Amino acid sequence: LTTFANLPYVHCLAADGVEVEKYDIAILGAPFDTGVTARPGARFGPGGIRQGSRRIAPEFGWNIHTGENVFLDWARIVDCGDAPLTFLDNTIALKQLDASHKRTSGRSANSSEYHIPRIITLGGDHTTTLSALRSTHERWGEVSVIHFDSHLDTWDPEVLGGGISHYAGVNHGTFLHIAHEEGLISNSSVHAGIRAPLMRPKGDIRNDLRCGFEIVTARAIDRIGVDGVIHALRKRVAGSKVYISVDIDVLDPSYAPATGTAEVGGWTTRELLAILDGLRGLEVVGADVVEVAPIYDNPGETTLLAAAEVVRSLLEILVHKPVK
Amino acid sequence: LTTFANLPYVHCLAADGVEVEKYDIAILGAPFDTGVTARPGARFGPGGIRQGSRRIAPEFGWNIHTGENVFLDWARIVDCGDAPLTFLDNTIALKQLDASHKRTSGRSANSSEYHIPRIITLGGDHTTTLSALRSTHERWGEVSVIHFDSHLDTWDPEVLGGGISHYAGVNHGTFLHIAHEEGLISNSSVHAGIRAPLMRPKGDIRNDLRCGFEIVTARAIDRIGVDGVIHALRKRVAGSKVYISVDIDVLDPSYAPATGTAEVGGWTTRELLAILDGLRGLEVVGADVVEVAPIYDNPGETTLLAAAEVVRSLLEILVHKPVK
Amino acid sequence: LTTFANLPYVHCLAADGVEVEKYDIAILGAPFDTGVTARPGARFGPGGIRQGSRRIAPEFGWNIHTGENVFLDWARIVDCGDAPLTFLDNTIALKQLDASHKRTSGRSANSSEYHIPRIITLGGDHTTTLSALRSTHERWGEVSVIHFDSHLDTWDPEVLGGGISHYAGVNHGTFLHIAHEEGLISNSSVHAGIRAPLMRPKGDIRNDLRCGFEIVTARAIDRIGVDGVIHALRKRVAGSKVYISVDIDVLDPSYAPATGTAEVGGWTTRELLAILDGLRGLEVVGADVVEVAPIYDNPGETTLLAAAEVVRSLLEILVHKPVK
Amino acid sequence: LTTFANLPYVHCLAADGVEVEKYDIAILGAPFDTGVTARPGARFGPGGIRQGSRRIAPEFGWNIHTGENVFLDWARIVDCGDAPLTFLDNTIALKQLDASHKRTSGRSANSSEYHIPRIITLGGDHTTTLSALRSTHERWGEVSVIHFDSHLDTWDPEVLGGGISHYAGVNHGTFLHIAHEEGLISNSSVHAGIRAPLMRPKGDIRNDLRCGFEIVTARAIDRIGVDGVIHALRKRVAGSKVYISVDIDVLDPSYAPATGTAEVGGWTTRELLAILDGLRGLEVVGADVVEVAPIYDNPGETTLLAAAEVVRSLLEILVHKPVK
Amino acid sequence: LTTFANLPYVHCLAADGVEVEKYDIAILGAPFDTGVTARPGARFGPGGIRQGSRRIAPEFGWNIHTGENVFLDWARIVDCGDAPLTFLDNTIALKQLDASHKRTSGRSANSSEYHIPRIITLGGDHTTTLSALRSTHERWGEVSVIHFDSHLDTWDPEVLGGGISHYAGVNHGTFLHIAHEEGLISNSSVHAGIRAPLMRPKGDIRNDLRCGFEIVTARAIDRIGVDGVIHALRKRVAGSKVYISVDIDVLDPSYAPATGTAEVGGWTTRELLAILDGLRGLEVVGADVVEVAPIYDNPGETTLLAAAEVVRSLLEILVHKPVK
Amino acid sequence: LTTFANLPYVHCLAADGVEVEKYDIAILGAPFDTGVTARPGARFGPGGIRQGSRRIAPEFGWNIHTGENVFLDWARIVDCGDAPLTFLDNTIALKQLDASHKRTSGRSANSSEYHIPRIITLGGDHTTTLSALRSTHERWGEVSVIHFDSHLDTWDPEVLGGGISHYAGVNHGTFLHIAHEEGLISNSSVHAGIRAPLMRPKGDIRNDLRCGFEIVTARAIDRIGVDGVIHALRKRVAGSKVYISVDIDVLDPSYAPATGTAEVGGWTTRELLAILDGLRGLEVVGADVVEVAPIYDNPGETTLLAAAEVVRSLLEILVHKPVK
Ligand SMILES: [Mn+2]
Ligand SMILES: [Mn+2]
Ligand SMILES: [Mn+2]
Ligand SMILES: [Mn+2]
Ligand SMILES: [Mn+2]
Ligand SMILES: [Mn+2]
Ligand SMILES: [Mn+2]
Ligand SMILES: [Mn+2]
Ligand SMILES: [Mn+2]
Ligand SMILES: [Mn+2]
Ligand SMILES: [Mn+2]
Ligand SMILES: [Mn+2]
C-alpha cells in the first residue's frame, strides 16, 4: 500500500528461518514517542514520512543534478514496514526495536559483494537512534556520528529526566550519552545545527566533549557557508565509519513545524540537502530521520515532504558508497 | 493568567505547613498521556480545557435554566494549577499525582460545615482517574463510579497492554480494573455511553461485571431517552457516594474530535449535559474530565468548549449537594 | 465574481439618482466585527457565507421537499455586495450601515405589486442588526423580532461593556436593548435557542421582558419538539410584521464552530432548518445571518455551508410571502 | 503497511494465473475523483479510510451490541489495495476499474460453499460505483440499489455535465442513470437521505422514477424514525439481491465534512449506523463508501473515522448473510 | 466583489459585439485542475489568489522601492473574472479557455498606442498555460518562455500520462512539449528553479532541449546569486517577445505549501520577487501564476499572499514596458 | 499557570500601596486589536506568545552562543499578566494601557542600582506601542525607536483611517506619527524590514522623515548583509536611549503567518535574531513584540515560537545593558 517511495515491501521482520526477498538497504519504521519531553506524536512519524514520499518513485527517480537514479542502481532498496513497538513501556519497546534491527541487518544482503544490509530508520523520537547504534555497533563496530539537530542530545540522564528514576533517564535528550557509555560511538562525532539552550552553564558542554562530540552551530553557516559546514563535518569523521542521524528539528520550524521540540533560527531545506549531498563518499553504515510528528504539520505537508526528501538524500549517500 | 473559568488561582500544592487560601472545590490539572494506546496529546488537556473556559466567568455565571450561579454560591471554588508530573516514567508520575491529590484534598475546606475539599481533575489520559479514586477512597471510602466513556476501561492488565510487563499493564484501558483490585470502588458502578468493541467475546464482559459495573450503551439513549439514562444511572448508584468520570470520547467525534481514541456514534453535548443535570442531588465526592487532546481539535475549539462546559456541569452537581 | 448563490450582482449602493437594475430582495454584506466581546473575525463573514453558497445556483435550485425554486419565482433576488464600513470607529460604521440600508431599501422594487425591496443582511457581528431594524422601522414600522441566538442580546448597555463609556455600550450584546429604546421593535418578540448564562440573577430577565421578549431555550426542543418551537414562535409574533435574525451561534459548535461566542448544547442544522421552514407564511420584512467568523471554521467549511443554507431558507420565507 | 482494519493484504489484482491467498470478502480501493463537479480530493479517499480504521483490528473486534466479531467469523476478509487508475482520462480509468473488479471478484472464494468473493469498494468519487455495479451484474445479475446520499445521482447525462460531450456526461451525478441504461440495476432501488436541490422541477423526479428509484428524504427520519427508514428500505428491496452504496455526504457536514459536495441538514452517524444494522439479513452482494476527500477533514479525522465505521457495518451485513 | 487587488471588474468575456469598458491589461481566471497527476485543487486557485490580494489596492499601491504605482500608471488594468470551464472534459475545457483568451485579447485596448490587451492568467493547473500561449501566438507570434517551475513540464506525452490515450497525454507536465509542437514558442526559452527528478536518464533532457529550453536549477542561485539568475534569463530571451509563466511550486513548500506537486529545496519569495524585478524592460506579452491549490494552504494564507504578490510583480513588468 | 518562559507571576498591576514582589524587568500583556485595518486577532497575542514560550525555562536557559543565562543574571524578570483592556472603546483601552504601564514601571526595581523597572510588552496590535512610548517618555525622556516592521506606521491620521473621525485616526498604522506629535520620540529613529507599499507617492516618505525616521528596507539585507543592517541601526540611534518595537510582520509570512497584515518577501528568523543580537550594548529602556494573531498560525505554532524567541532576544539585550 503506502511504502516509502513506492518501494517494494519486504517482510524483513519475519521469524528467523523464514526466507524473504533479499535487500541491500532497508527502510525500517520505529513508531515510538514516549521518550519525549514536550509535544508527543512522533509515533506516527514513519507513516507520515511514507505519505510525504508518495510522489517519489523508482521509475521517476533520476536526480536532475547528478543524472543518477538511486533506486535503479546496484542496491536493492526495500521498505520493511514498522518494528512492532509497545507504547506502554519504554524499556520493552527499546528491546523490541533492538531485536528488529538485529533481524533486519542480520539477513544476508542481495549484493554478492557487500554482505550486510544497511538500515535507514524512520522515527519515532530520537531515543530510537540508540537501537540503531547498537545495531551498527554489532555489525560494524564503533561509528562516528554526524548528528543533525538543534539539541545536543548528550545530556547526562542524571540531569535530564533522570534523578527521578533510571527509567526516566532513557529519553530523546540522553540517548547519545548512553550510546557513548555503551561504547557504541567513537570520539570523533559531531553535531550540526545546534542552537537550543543548555541546562548547565559549562557542565553540558564538558559532558558533550566527553561523549566525543564537536559542535557546528546553526549560525555557523552564516559565517562558513554550506561548504564550510561540509568541510567541518567531513574532517571530523574522516577515516571512520559513519552513522548519520537527522533530527528534523535541525530545520527551521518554517520548514519543519511538525516536530516535538521545534527551535527557531534553523537551517532551510536547501541548505540541509546541499550539506547532505556534500557528505557523499563517506562510509555511512546507517542513518535515520527522526522526531517527525505529523499532527503538527501544515495542511500542505511541508514537514513530511522535507523528511521524505532527506531520506532520499540519505539513500543517495548509502548507494554512492557501498560498505564492506 | 488563564485559570478555569477565570477562577482565582490558589497554590494548593504548596508544601505542607504553608498556608494558602482556603477552598471547598479545587480544579486540578493532570498533564499526563503516556498511558495511552493510540493518539497521544492529552498532556495538554488541562491547559486546553482552561482555554475553552475563557468566556466562563463567575460574574457572568447565572444559569439560564436554574437561575443559579454556581460560582457565587456557598462553595469557594479555585484553580490549583497542574500537578507536577514527569512524562518519562508512568510509575513515578502516578505517585506524583497521588501526592498532589493527597495534598489538595488534605487541606481543611473553607466551609465550616463540609470539611474536605473536593477535586475536579482536568486530564490527562484516563489513567489519571486512578489517582483520583485513591484520593476519594482515602477521604470518603469506597465510591460508586459513574463512568461516561465509549470504552469499558476495565480491561485486565494481562489482556490490554500487559502480558508484556507489569509497567505496561497500568494504562488508560485498565485503570478501573486496578481501582477495583485496590478496593477503591464499590460493586454498584456503571458505564454510560459504551460503544467500542471488545477484545474477548465474553471475557471482557465477565471481567467488567467482576469489577462492579453495569453498562448503559450509547445506543440505549435512542430507546430509553435522556430520562431513561438518568434513571438507570441514579438507580445503580443510589445510596452510595459517587465519583463521576467523564472521558470526553463519550461524545461523538463530531462534538469532541480532540481525543485519542474517538469512537463514532456517540452522544451529543446537549444529551450529555442534560444527563449530567439529571444527576443533581447525588453525593458526588470527586469528578474529572479526561482524554482531551487539544491538537486534534477544530480551529473553533469545539472540544475545548464542550469539555469546559462539562466541567461547569460537574461543578453545579458538586455545589448543589455538599458532602460531609 | 463570487456572489451569494451565483446571483447577479447589482450596485444597489450606487449614488442616488444612478439607475440600477431593479430587485425585490437584496443580499447585503455588513463586514463589521468591532462590536464583539470575544473572538473577532466576523468582518469576513459576508465573503465567507458567499463562499459557502458557491454550489447553490438558481438553475439548480428546485427544493426537493417543496418542488419550488425560490430563485425562479416572482421575486428578483440580487447580491448588492458589501456596505462600505470602517473598522476603526463603530459609531461611524453604524452610520455607514444605516445609510447603506436606507439606499438599498429605498429603491423601488422590481415587482409592480410589492414596492419595497426587502434585505437579507450577511453579518458581521450582531450589532449590525441594529441598522437593519432601523431600516425596517423606517419602511414598515415596528416589527416583532424572531431572534435565533444562544445569547439574549438585550443586555443593558450599562451592564454589558458600558459603564465605561457610551461608545462601549453599543455592541453585539446590547443592540436589542437599544432597538427597543429606539422604538424599532414591538413587545411581541421572541428569542429562540437561548442557553448562555446571564450577568445578573434576575435583572437580565426583567430587562429582557421590558425589551419585549419571550424566551424559548435551546433545551425546550427536547420537550416540545421542532413543532412545538414553531408553534411558540408563530404564536408570539402572530399578526405583526416580523424580522428574523439568526445568530449562527444558535447552532451547536459542532455545526457552526466559526463564530465568536460559541456555546455548546445548541441545535442541529436539521432542527434549525425545519423550524425556519415552519415559519413560512409570516410577513417577514427583513432578515439576517450574523456572527459568522470564517477563520474558526473547519477545513470543510462546515459553518459556511450551514450559514448559506440558512440564508436560502430565509429567502424561501420571503419569497413565499410577499409583503406590501 | 496500513491496510483496512489491519487486515492482511492480498495481491488480488495479480495477473491471471498467479495464485494468491483466497478470500471471501475483498476491500478494494478506487482512487479516482475526476468525475466530480465541485471540490476534488476523493482520489485520496481509500488511503484516508484505511487511516481512519487504524484502531480497528480483528483481535479487538467483538461488537458490544451483538457479541460477534465479524473478522473472526466464517469469512476471510482481506485488503486488496488500490486499483491502478489514471487521473488523466476518465474513460480509461473506468475501464481499469472494471478490469480490477472483474479480476478481484473472479477468483474463487475461500469458502467452499459461497464461491464468489464479494467486494467493498473504498471510493473515490461516486462514478466508481458504476464499475462495481457492472461487476455485480456480471456475477449476480441485476441488483436493487440502496443508495445513501444527499443527492439523487440519477441525473440524465444530457442534463448534468453532458450536452457538452459524451465524455463529460459520465460523472458522479449520472452514474445511476447510466447503470440503469446498462441494465445493471432493477426497478426496486431506493435512495436514502436525499436533501439536495434538483435541476429540473419535475423532470429530475420523473427521470429518477424511470431509473427505478424511490426516495426517502433526510428529513423523513424526523417523522418515521430510524425504524421507519429501515422498514422502507427493506420493503423496497425485498426479495432481490442488493447493492449498498454509501455516499458519505449522506451524513451531515458536522459528521462528515471531508467530502466534495457536502449538504447541511443530514443524518448523524448514530442514525446511519443504526439504519445499516437494520439491514442485516438482506442478500447484499456488494457495497461501497465513496466521496471521502480527506483534505477537507478536521484535524481529529472526524470523517475518516465515520467512513471506516460505515465500512465495518457493511462488513457485518455481508458476513451475517452469505450469498450463493 | 472580490477582484484581484480591488481592481474594477469588466465583463471581458461578453459576447462579441457587446461593448465593455476598455482595458490594457486583463486578469483572467482559469479554474481548471483535471490535468494534474497528484494533489488536485487548483480549480480554486483564481479565487484564492484574489483573496490573497485583498490588501492590495490601487490607492495604496506605491512601491516602496521604485516609488511607482503600477495601478495608477498609463495602463488600465481590470479583472475579467473567470473563464467558464467544465471540470468534466479536459478537451472541451481547453477549447473553452482558448475561446476566452481569444475574446479577452481580441478587444481593442484602452491605450491609443498599444492596441492589444495583454493577459495575466490566474491558474488553474499548468495545462492552462497552453491556451495562453496559443493566444499570445495568435496576437504576437512566437514567444520565448521564461518558465519558473520545479518541474520541466516538457515531458513527451508518450512518456508522461500518455501511452494510455491521447487524451491523457495533455496535462500539466506535457503542455510545453505540446506548445513546442504547435509552434507557439521559440527555441530561446528557459526554465528557472528546476529541481524535481526526471523519468528518463537522458531522454528527458534531450527532449527538453528539442523543445527549446535551457535550465537554471534551483540550486544554481547558491552559486550565481539572484543577479546571476537574472543575467542568465535575460541573456537567454534577449531580443524576443517573452511569456512568463510562474508555477508557484518554484517556491519552497515553506513559502508555498498550497500546490499540487510541491518540491522541497526551492526558492524564497524574496529571491523570486527580486528575480522578477530584474526582468523589467523585457517585452513581456503575457504571463501567469499557476498551480495554486488553496485547500493546502496554511491558515495564514501564506501561499495566497505570495501568489498575489507575484502577480503584482508581473503587472509591474507589463506596465513598465508596453508592447506594440 | 502559563507565564512567559515559566517566569514567576507577579501582580504588578495591584493597586497603589499594595506591596508586591520586586522586579527589574516586567513582561506585560496588552490584549488589544481593535486598531487594526485588516485581519483581527492580536487580542490573543499575549496568551499565544506565552504558549510559544512554554519550553523556555530559567533553569534550562543557558545560551549556546554566549554561555550566558539571561534568567539567572542580575535582573529579576517577572510576568505581570495582562493589562485589563476593553475591546469596545479604543480611547478607553489606551487609557487603561497607559495606566497599566505607569503602574508597572512606577514600582521601585529589585536592583539597588537600577531603579526603574523596564517593560517588554506582548501585543496586541501595534497601537499598543503608543502607551509604551508614553511610559518610557515619562520615565526616561525621549527615545530613539528601532522599529522592525514591514510597514512604516507613521501614517498621518488624516490619511490612514482618519478623515472620517479623530477616533478612527488612532490605529496601528498611525501610532508612530502620534508618538512624534506627542514628543515621545527623538529624530534619530529608524525602521527596519520595510517593504509594504505606500498610500501617497511622496507624501508618506516626507511625513516619515518629519517623524524622525530613516528606512532600512527588507531587501537591503541582500546588499549589506546582517552586519550592514546592524551597523545602520546602531549608527542611527547612537548615543540615545532606545526603544525596540518588533512588529512580527517584519518576518516573512513563511516564518510568521499569524499576523494581521502579513507581507511576503520578509526576513527569516535567523536573520532577525542575528540582528537583534547585534544590538547588544545599546541602552534599551523598553521593547515589545506585537501583531501576533494566533488563530492564523500553523498547527505547529511557527509564529508563536518565533515571537517567544524574539522576546528572549530582547530580554538578553535588556539584561546585558542595565540602564540608570
Ligand atoms: Mn532536536
Ligand atoms: Mn534530537
Ligand atoms: Mn474512552
Ligand atoms: Mn476512558
Ligand atoms: Mn450569540
Ligand atoms: Mn447575538
Ligand atoms: Mn452526494
Ligand atoms: Mn453521490
Ligand atoms: Mn511544477
Ligand atoms: Mn508546472
Ligand atoms: Mn506595525
Ligand atoms: Mn506591520
- What chain C residue is nearest to E4 in terms of C-alpha separation? C1
Q: Check residue D46 and give its pLDDT.
A: 98
Distance CA A254, CA F257 (A): 10
Residues of chain E neighbouring F219 (CB-CB closer than 8 A)? 65, 270, 274
Q: From ligand 2's centre to the CA of A310, what distance in Å?
A: 16
pLDDT, one tens digit per residue, over C24-47 is 999 999 999 999 999 999 999 999
**pLDDT for residue A162 is more than 80:** no
- CATH hierarchy code of domain A4-320: 3.40.800.10
Q: From ligand 10's centre to the CA of A59, what distance in Å?
A: 20
CB E120 within 8 A of CB E28: yes
CB D31 within 8 A of CB D45: yes
Cell of B100: 498532589
What residues contact residue C50 under an 8 Å CB cut-off, 6+ apart? C2, C3, C4, C29, C79, C122, C308, E1
Half-sphere exposure of D202 (CA within 13 A, CB side): 0
Q: From ligand 3's centre to the CA of B123, what distance in Å?
A: 12
pLDDT, one tens digit per residue, over F215-228 is 999 999 999 999 99
**pLDDT for residue E100 is more than 80:** yes
The confidence band for C159, taking pLDDT boundaries of 50, 70 and 90, is confident
Q: From ligand 12's centre to the CA of F125, what distance in Å?
A: 9
Residues of chain E neighbouring D87 (CB-CB closer than 8 A)? 34, 36-37, 40
pLDDT, one tens digit per residue, over F128-149 is 999 999 999 999 999 999 999 9
Q: Check residue F17 and give its pLDDT.
A: 84
pLDDT, one tens digit per residue, over D112-128 is 999 999 999 999 999 99
To probe the interface with A, which of B36, B89, B259, B297 has the most A CB atoms within 10 Å? B89
pLDDT, one tens digit per residue, over C298-322 is 999 999 999 999 999 999 999 999 9
The CA distance from B223 to the nearest CA of chain C, in Å, is 15
Residues of chain D neighbouring C69 (CB-CB closer than 8 A)? 197, 201
Q: Is F284 on the interface with A (CB under 8 A)?
A: no
Q: From ligand 8's centre to the CA of A51, what distance in Å?
A: 27
**Chain E neighbours among F 67-126 (CB < 8 Å)?**
none
What residues contact residue F82 under an 8 Å CB cut-off, 6+ apart? B1, F28, F29, F30, F31, F46, F47
The CA distance from B34 to the nearest CA of chain D, in Å, is 17
Q: Check residue B295 and give its pLDDT.
A: 98
Q: From ligand 5's centre to the CA of B68, what distance in Å?
A: 21
Which residue from A56, A64, A302 is facing E254, i.e. has the nearest CB? A302
- The predicted model gives F73-84 an average pLDDT of 98
To probe the interface with A, which of B32, B37, B88, B155 has the most A CB atoms within 10 Å? B88
Residues of chain C neighbouring E82 (CB-CB closer than 8 A)? 1
- With a pLDDT cut of 90, the percent of chain A lying above it is 95
Q: Check residue D16 and give its pLDDT.
A: 81
The confidence band for E161, taking pLDDT boundaries of 50, 70 and 90, is confident
Residues of chain A neighbouring F254 (CB-CB closer than 8 A)? 254
Cell of B285: 465526592
Which residue from E81, E295, E299 is facing C1, i.e. has the nearest CB? E81
The CA distance from F271 to the nearest CA of chain C, in Å, is 30
**pLDDT for residue F244 is more than 90:** yes
| Contact: C299, E295; criterion CB under 8 Å | yes
Q: Check residue B1 and give its pLDDT.
A: 85
Q: Check residue A161 and give its pLDDT.
A: 83
pLDDT, one tens digit per residue, over E51-65 is 999 999 999 999 998
ipTM computed for the complex: 0.97
pLDDT, one tens digit per residue, over A304-314 is 999 999 999 99
Of the candidates F31, F53, F52, F50, which has an alpha carbon nearest to the alpha carbon of residue F42?
A: F31
To probe the interface with C, which of B64, B68, B71, B269 has the most C CB atoms within 10 Å? B64
pLDDT, one tens digit per residue, over A71-110 is 999 999 999 999 999 999 999 999 999 999 999 999 999 9
b/e map C230-240, b = 16+ CB within 10 Å: bebbbebbeeb
**pLDDT for residue E81 is more than 90:** yes
Q: From ligand 5's centre to the CA of C183, what distance in Å?
A: 22
**pLDDT for residue C115 is more than 90:** yes
The confidence band for F54, taking pLDDT boundaries of 50, 70 and 90, is very high
**pLDDT for residue B162 is more than 80:** no
The confidence band for F161, taking pLDDT boundaries of 50, 70 and 90, is confident
Mean residue pLDDT across chain A? 97
Ligand that lies nearest to the alpha carbon of residue B154, given by its number in the listed order: 4
Residues of chain E neighbouring D40 (CB-CB closer than 8 A)? 33-34, 40-41, 43, 87
Q: Check residue B177 and give its pLDDT.
A: 98
| Contact: F1, B82; criterion CB under 8 Å | yes
Look up residue B55 and give its amino acid.
R
Measured CA distances, F113 to F8, F131, F287, F324 (Å): 22, 26, 21, 8
Residues of chain E neighbouring D37 (CB-CB closer than 8 A)? 87-88
pLDDT, one tens digit per residue, over C172-228 is 999 999 999 999 999 999 999 999 999 988 899 999 999 999 999 999 999 999 999
Which residue from D54, D254, D309 is facing B254, i.e. has the nearest CB? D254
Which residue from A41, A168, A169 is facing B40, i.e. has the nearest CB? A41
Which residue from C199, C217, C219 is facing B60, i.e. has the nearest CB? C199
Q: Is A262 on the interface with F (CB under 8 A)?
A: yes
Q: Is D37 on the interface with E (CB under 8 A)?
A: yes
Which chains neighbour C (Cβ–Cβ under 8 Å, 3 or more pairs)? B, D, E, F
Which residue from D202, D261, D265 is facing C309, i.e. has the nearest CB? D265
Q: Is C252 on the interface with B (CB under 8 A)?
A: yes
3-class SS letters over chain E: CCCHHHCCECCCCCCCCCCCCCCCEEEEEECCCCCCCCCCCHHHHHHHHHHHCCCCCHHHCECCCCCCCHHHCCCCEEEEEECCCCCCCHHHHHHHHHHHHHHHHHCCCCCCCCCCCEEEEEECCCCHHHHHHHHHHHHHCCEEEEEECCCCCCCCCCCCCCCCCCHHHCCCCCHHHHHHHCCCECCCEEEEEECCCECCCCHHHHHHHHCCEEEEECCHHHHHHHHHHHHHHHHHHCCCCEEEEEEHHHECCCCCCCCCCCCCCCECHHHHHHHHHCCCCCCEEEEEEECCCHHHCCCCCHHHHHHHHHHHHHHHHHHHCCCC
| Contact: E9, C3; criterion CB under 8 Å | no
- What chain A residue is nearest to E300 in terms of C-alpha separation? A298
To probe the interface with A, which of E226, E264, E271, E303 has the most A CB atoms within 10 Å? E264
CB B94 within 8 A of CB B130: yes
| Contact: E300, F204; criterion CB under 8 Å | no
CB E158 within 8 A of CB E314: no
Q: Which residue has the higher pLDDT, D260 or E67?
A: D260
Q: Check residue C252 and give its pLDDT.
A: 98
Q: Check residue D263 and give its pLDDT.
A: 98
**pLDDT for residue B154 is more than 80:** yes
Q: Is A35 on the interface with B (CB under 8 A)?
A: yes
Ligand that lies nearest to the alpha carbon of residue D290, given by its number in the listed order: 8
User: Which residue has 485588516 as its cell numbers?
Assistant: F38
The CA distance from F92 to the nearest CA of chain E, in Å, is 28
Q: What residues in chain D have per-residue pLDDT under 70?
A: none
The confidence band for F160, taking pLDDT boundaries of 50, 70 and 90, is confident
The CA distance from B239 to the nearest CA of chain C, in Å, is 29
Which residue from E37, E91, E295 is facing D87, i.e. has the nearest CB? E37
The confidence band for C161, taking pLDDT boundaries of 50, 70 and 90, is confident
- Contact pairs from chain C to chain D, CB under 8 Å: 87
